[in-house]
Amino acid sequence: MANDTRPASPLKHLGLMTLLEGGSLIALVAIAMPLKYMAGLPEAVSAVGPVHGVLYLWTMAVLAITLYRRLLPVHHGAVVAIAALIPFGGLVSHRLVRRRLQTSD
């Protein structure tokens, strides 16, 4: 069995990050925020908020690298960036990146 030690492409990395960041946004908006305001548990936002923030910044960094290397058209990059601000937008981004991966193979 061959051991493939090549690093994952930034486009594959971006596909994973769109799912992780999108999931963390959904957790923040659909779980942590209601717990804070309806159940009086601000600790939920204190826990999920920073995780989402790090994942968002990481996603934007990977997006910048992907755009710099011209692995994704600029207008697709704009869609990914805007979708990161909208709950469930990570699914749209992931689908867009996955299609781009399929056409680049």
Tens of pLDDT, residue by residue over 44-87, are 999 999 999 999 999 999 999 999 999 999 999 999 999 999 99
| pTM summary value | 0.88
Termini Cα distance of the chain:
22
| Tens digits of residue pLDDT in 10-33 | 999 999 999 999 999 999 999 999
CB atoms within 10 A of CB 105: 4
Alpha-carbon span 14 to 69, nearest angstrom: 13
